[in-house]
A and B are shown apart, each in its own frame.
Chain A
Amino acid sequence: MNVLGIPILTFVTFLPAAGMAVLLLLPASRTRALKLAANAFTGLEFLATLLLLARFDAGSGGMQFVERWPWIKAIGAQYLLGLDGISLLLVLLTSLLTFVATLSSWGAVRTRLKEYYVFMLLLETGMIGVFLALDLILFYVFWEVVLVPMYFLIGVWGGERRLYAAIKFFLYTLFGSVAMLVGILVLRGAHRTFDWTAMIAAGGAVPAALQGWIFLLFFLGFAIKVPMFPFHTWLPDAHVEAPTAGSVLLAGVLLKMGSYGFLRFSLPLLPDAARRYAPAMVVLALVSIVYGALVSLMQKDMKKLIAYSSVSHMGFVMLGLFVLTPLAAKGAVLQMVNHGLSTGALFLVVGVVYERRHTRLIADFGGLASRMPVYAAVFLVMALSSIGLPGLNGFIGEFMILMGTFPVSWLWTAVAATGIVLGAGYMLWLYQRVMFGPVVHPANESLKDLTVREFAAFLPLLVLVFWIGVFPKPFLDIIDKPVERIVRIVNPAHYEAPR
C-alpha cells in the first residue's frame, strides 16, 4: 500500500540499500562525507519508520500496508511485505538501534570506513526485511542477507579472535537456517504456497504429525538465533569479538529475529505442534534464564558477561511466548524491545570505555564513577533497566511474563523469578567492580567523561527506558491486537467461556 504516493514498506526496506549504493559511489578517501552519508541514511530511515507509525492503525490486528508482487513465478514465491503491530515495533527498534549504532561508530571505526558503513546499511535492509516479509522464501532471503554483513562486521572490524568468532557465528546460524529452509519447503508442500497470510487463512491444513517435524526444523533455525540453551555458545564469542556497533545490533536486533520467527511462524502456522512442544520449550527457556545468569556471574570480560545475560533475558522472552497466554505473550514482545534497548545500550556502555582503554576486562577498571559521573549515571540506568527495576522498561516485560505464567504454573514462575535475583547479582557486581571503589589503575585516572556525541547516542535509549517503564500503554496498544490474534490461534482454549 502506498503512503504519500510511494510503496512505503518497500521504501523503508530498501532505503538503507539505496544509501549503500550512494556510499559505494563515494571515494573511500572522503571519510567525512562517508560518515555523514551513512548517518544521514540511517537517520532518514528512522524518520521513515516513524512515518509508518504515524499511519499505522492500532485498532486492526491484521497486516497493513501490504505489497504483493509476483517474484519467482516458477516456484510461486512472491514479493510480499506487510506489517502488523509486532513487526512495527521491531522495525522501529531496528531503525533506532541502527541509527544509534551508526552514530556511535563515528569516532570508533577508523579502518575501511567505506566498507564498514556499506555493511551496516546492507545489514539494516536485511533486518527490516526480515520483520516485514510475509512470503517465507522472501523471509528466508532477508534472513540470509543479514548473515553476510554481520559476518564481515565481526570478521574485519572485530577483536583478536575475530575470525574464529565470525566463522562460528556464520556456520552456526547457517546450519540453523538451512534447517529452517527445509522446514519452509516442507510447509509449502502442505500449503502449496509460501504466502503467510494464505497459510493463516487456511487454518489447520497441516496434519499434526507433520507440524511436529516442521516445528523441529524451524526450532533449529530460530533457537540458534535467539539463542536458547544449548545453542548459545556462538553468542559470547561473536559479542566479544564484534565491534561495538556490531554487538549493539547483534544483541539488539538479530536475537529478536529468532524470537520473532517463533512468534510469527512457529506459533500460528504450527499451533498443534506448538502446544505439544510448549512444555519442552518452557523448560529450555527456564534453563536459559538460570544457566545464562549463573554463567554470567563468572565472566571476567564485560562483553561476555552481557552476552550471557542476553541468554538469560531471551529465556524470559521465550518463556513468555510459550506459556501461550496473552498477558505473557505481550510481555514477551515488549521484552524483545526492552532487551534491545537496554542490552544494546549496555554494549555501547562497554564500547565507550573500550575505546578509551582498549580492554574489556572488568579487572582493568574500578572506580570510574569518580572520573566519569555522567557515564556512571547512564551505565546505572541501563544496568537497572536490564535487571528489571520497576519504573524502567525491563520491569514491565518481566512482570507481564511472570504474571501471565503464574496461572499456568507457579513452579515455572518461581524458577524464572530466581533469574531476577541472580540478575541483580551479576549486574550490580559488574557495576561495582567497574565503577565503585578507588581508582587502582593509573591509566583510568585521566579517563574523559562522555562526549556530547556519545551522550547523544544514549539519549533516545534513555528516553525510551523511562517512557516504557512509566507509560508503556502506547507500546502495548500497538502489539495488543496482533498478539491476541496469534495466541487465539495457538491456544483457543484460553478464550473459552468459563469452565
Chain B
Amino acid sequence: MFALIPLFPLAGAAVNGLLGARFLSRRAVGATAVGAVGLSFAAAAASFAGLLRAAEPAAVRTLFTWVPASLVRTASGALAEVRFDMAFRYDPLAAVMTLVVTGVGLLIHVYSLGYMAQDKSYARFFAYMNLFTFAMLVLVLGANLGVMFVGWEGVGLCSYLLIGFWFRKDAAADAGKKAFITNRVGDFGFLLGTGLLVYALGTADIAGISAAVEGGLLPKGAATAAALLLFLGATGKSAQIPLYTWLPDAMEGPTPVSALIHAATMVTAGVYMVARLHVLFTFSGAALTVVALTGAVTAVYAASMGLVQNDIKRVLAYSTISQIGYMFIGLGAGAYAAGIFHLMTHAFFKGLLFLAAGSVIHALAGEQDMRRMGGLRTRVPRTYRVFLVGALAISGVPGLSGFFSKDEILAAAFASGNTLAWALGLLGAAMTAFYMFRLIFLVFFGQERFSAETARHVHESPRVMLVPLEVLAVLAVAGGYVGLPRVLGGGAWFGRFLAPSTGAHGPHLAAGTELLLMAASVAAALAAIFAAHAVYVRGRGEPARRFAGKHGTLYRVVSGKYFVDEFYGRVFVGGVLRLGRLAAWFDRRVIDGLVDGAAALARAASRLAIGFDESAVDGAVNGVGRAHLAASSGLRRLQTGRIYNYALAVVLGVVLVITVAVAVF
C-alpha cells in the first residue's frame, strides 16, 4: 500500500508535464495535480491506519534491484556484497512524514489553484509541484541512503525549478542556481558520508546501518566522521549555518512554493535524515553536540536577521531557518521525536504563515514590502485572523501547537545538560515572538501606507485560497495536542508512536522543573509580544528607528545579513572563478603552447630532413605553426574534389607504415 503513496504525484507530474500545456484545459491541469496529491494523501492515511493495526512497526517493500551487487572490501577486511535496492521503508517516522507531506501538500496545491490562476505557465507549475511531492516522498520512504539521495537531490531539483519558476527575472534564475549549488556542497558531504558507511559497514540500508552500529561494528571516530559528513548535507538542505544563505533568496519563487518547499517540507529533510539515522548520531555523541549547537546558534542568528527585514516573505524565511534550528536543538538533545514533533507543527503554522502572506501579497497586487502595507486588519479580515493564529502558534503562546513542540525541545535540551542550547533557545523564542508581532503590527495595524491606487483594488482572497488557510489554522491550533506532555495531563502520544523509529526519549525532568521552564518561555514570548506592541503600535515604530540610529553599525551589520553573502561570494565563488581563470590561462598558454611549439619544431625538422614540404599530405604531417598558410592551400585542394585521393593516400600510408614496421620487426 505505502509504495503507492509516491506514485500518484509522479503520474500527475508526468501527465501535466507532458500533456498539460498543449492538450489540457487549466481546469484539467488543476484537477490532475490536486487529485494526484489527494490520492497520495488517501494512500498515506490508509497506510497510517494500517500501521496502527499492524503488529510490526516497520515494513520494507523492495520494488526492484537498482544497482546490483559488487564485492567491496570493507574496513574490517571482510568482503561485503554491496547493492542498492529501490526499496521503501514504512514505519512511524515515515508515516508522520508522508502524512505531513501529502496533507500540507494537498492544502497548498488547492491554494495554488487560486494563487496561480492568472499565471501563463499553469501546467508547468503544477507539474513541478507534483514532481516535488513525488521526490519528497521518495526521500522520506527510501530504505537506504541511495534511494534517500534520489529524493534528496530530486527535491533540490524541484526547488531549483520552482525558485526559478519566473525565469525571465534574473534574480529568480540566480536564486535557483544558488540554491542548487549550495545544496550540492552539502550533498558532497552526504555522498562521502554514504561512502564511509558503505566502506565501514558494507551496507547503506537504514536498518543495516542501525543494526551494525548497535552491534558495535563501527568505531566511534568513524561514526562521528560519517555523522558529521551527513550533517553537512543536512545543513545544506535545511538551511543551517554554514549553508543557509540560499533560503532567503529562494523567496523569489511563487509563494505557495515558499510554503510547501521552503517552509513545510523540503527544508526539514535534514531534520528527518538525522532522525532517521538517530542510532548513528546517538552512538557518536560528539556529532550530536555539533547538531545541537549548530541548531541553537542558527536559531538565534537567523532570528536576529528576521528582526530587521522589511520584505514580508524574508521575515518568514529567516524565521524558518531559525525554527529548523530548534528542531536540531531537539535532535541534538537526543529527543528525536521532539524534533519531528516541531517539524510537524512547524509545517502547519509556517505553511499557514506563508500562505497567509501570499494572501496579503495577492490582496496588494504583488506588494511584499511591509513599509508599504499597514492597516490591513479590516481590509482582509479572514486573512488577518489566520495570520494571527499562525503568529501566536509560532510564538509559543500556550495552548497552540508551537507551544507544545517548542517547549518539549527546550525541556529536552535542558534535561540533556546542554544549558547553552537551552538558553539560546529561550532567547530565540523571545526574538521569534518579537519579529512575528512586528510583522503583524506592521502589516495589519496602523496607517495604510500603500497608494490610493492600490487601496482601491485591495481585496480578500477567493475561497479556494482561504479554505486551505483555515484548515491549516485549525491544525496550527490543535496539532500540538497529539503530543500533549504528561506534566500537563497528556499522554505524550506522539513520542510513544514514534519510539519504534526514533528510540525512546532520554532523560526526563522533574515535573516542577518542566513547568518552571515552560513558564520561563511563555513569559519570554509574552514579554516580546508586548514589547513589539509598544514599539510598533504605540510608538509607531519610532523606538525602533531611534535604536537603529543610535546603534548604526550594529544595525548595518544585522540588516546587511552579517555580510556573509558578500564573504561567501568573494571567497568561495570568487576563489573558484579565479582558479578557473588561472586554469584556463594555463591551458591556453602553457599546455597548448607546448603542443603548438612541439608541432612547429617537428615541422621544421621534417622540412630540414626530407624537404617534404609541398607534398600532397603536407597539411597532415606538418605542424600547426603555420596553420593558416596551410589552411588556404589545403582547403583549395579539398575543394577540388580530390577528397577520395586524399583519403586513399592516408589509408594507404597507414597500411604501408604497418606493413613496413611489422616486416622489419
A interface list, Cβ under 8 A from B: 72, 74-75, 77, 112, 115, 119, 137, 140-141, 144-145, 148-149, 151-152, 155-156, 161, 163-164, 167-168, 170-172, 178, 181, 185, 188-189, 230, 232-234, 291, 294-299, 325-327, 330, 367, 369-370, 373, 384, 389-391, 395-396, 399-400, 402-407, 410, 413-414, 417-418, 420-422, 424-425, 428-429, 432, 435-438, 470-473, 476-477, 480, 494-495, 497-499
Contact = CB atoms under 8 A, between A and B. Distances in A.
A152 B638 CA distance: 9
Given A148-B651, A325-B72, A413-B192, A421 B584 contact: no
Enumerate the 4 nearest inter-chain pairs by beta-carbon distance, A residue then B residue, closest first: A406-B195, A436-B173, A327-B70, A163-B631
B635 A163 contact: yes
Interface string B616-640: 0001111110011011001100100
Contacts of A171: 599, 620-621, 623-624
Nearest to A163: B631
A498 B177 contact: no
A299 B77 CA distance: 45
Interface residues of B, number: 87
A495 B81 CA distance: 12
B195 A410 contact: yes
A112 B216 CA distance: 71
B72 A373 contact: no
B605 to A, nearest CB: 13
A156 B622 CA distance: 18
Name A's interface SS: helix
Contacts of A137: 658, 662
A407 B662 contact: no
B67 A295 contact: no
B591 interface: yes
A163 B630 CA distance: 8
Interface stretch (B181-189, B417-425, B558-566): B181-189
Contact of B638 (A149, A155, A477): A155
A393 to B, nearest CB: 12
Nearest to A497: B79
Contacts of B184: 420-421, 424
A163 B627 contact: yes
A370 B76 CA distance: 55
A265 B580 CA distance: 35
B272 to A, nearest CB: 17
B66 interface: yes
B78 interface: yes
Contact of A141 (B71, B576, B658): B658
Given A384-B157, A425-B181, A438-B168, A399 B67 contact: yes
Contacts of A495: 71, 79
Name B's interface SS: helix
Given A167-B619, A424-B180, A498-B77, A396 B192 contact: no
A326 B71 contact: yes
B72 A391 contact: no
Contact of B168 (A402, A413, A417, A437): A437
B154 interface: yes
Nearest to A400: B67
B608 interface: no
B663 A410 contact: no
Given A370-B168, A403-B194, A407-B199, 14 more contacts: A167-B627, A181-B661, A233-B587, A297-B576, A297-B577, A390-B146, A399-B67, A406-B198, A417-B191, A421-B188, A428-B177, A428-B181, A437-B170, A476-B68
A411 B353 CA distance: 45
Contact of B72 (A232, A403, A414, A432): A403
Contacts of B64: 471, 473
B581 interface: yes
B661 A417 contact: no
Contacts of A297: 576-577, 580
B643 A406 contact: no
A373 B18 CA distance: 11
Contacts of B620: 151, 167, 170-171
Contacts of A119: 647
A326 B66 CA distance: 17
9 contacts: A145-B651, A167-B619, A171-B624, A181-B661, A185-B662, A291-B583, A295-B583, A295-B584, A407-B73
Contact of B663 (A75, A145, A299, A429): A75
B149 A390 contact: yes
A295 to B, nearest CB: 5
Contacts of B191: 399, 402, 417, 420
Given A171-B599, A435-B167, A410 B70 contact: no
Interface in B579-599: 579-581, 583-584, 587, 591-592, 595, 599
Contacts of B583: 291, 294-295, 298
B249 interface: no
A171 B659 CA distance: 20
Contacts of A291: 583, 587
A72 B655 CA distance: 12
Contacts of A178: 657
Interface string B407-430: 000000000000000000000000
B584 A298 contact: yes
Contact of A399 (B71, B146, B577, B624): B146
A424 B236 CA distance: 15
Contacts of B651: 144-145, 148
A406 B168 contact: no
B534 interface: no
A480 B624 CA distance: 44
B77 A499 contact: yes
Given A326-B71, A367-B168, A403-B198, A163 B658 contact: no
A189 B665 CA distance: 9
A474 to B, nearest CB: 10
Contacts of A403: 72, 82, 194-195, 198
A172 B595 contact: yes
Contacts of B38: none
B368 interface: no
Contacts of B170: 436-438
B70 A406 contact: no
B62 interface: no
B167 A167 contact: no
A325 B73 contact: yes
B210 interface: no
A152 B643 contact: yes
A370 B198 CA distance: 44
A476 B76 CA distance: 27
Contacts of A163: 619, 627, 630-631, 634-635
Contacts of B187: 420-421
B613 interface: no
Given A233-B591, A384-B157, A428-B181, A148 B638 contact: no
A18 B257 CA distance: 57
Given A295-B580, A295-B587, A498-B79, A152 B647 contact: yes
A390 B595 contact: no
B581 A298 contact: yes
A296 B579 CA distance: 11
Contacts of B464: none
A486 to B, nearest CB: 13
Contacts of B647: 119, 148-149, 152
B71 A473 contact: no
Given A403-B82, A420-B191, A436-B168, A389 B181 contact: no
A472 to B, nearest CB: 7
A164 B21 contact: no
Nearest to B596: A168
Nearest to B65: A473
Contacts of B72: 325, 327, 403-404, 407
B650 interface: yes
Residue in B70, B177, B180 whose Cβ sees the most chain A Cβ within 10 Å: B70
B485 interface: no
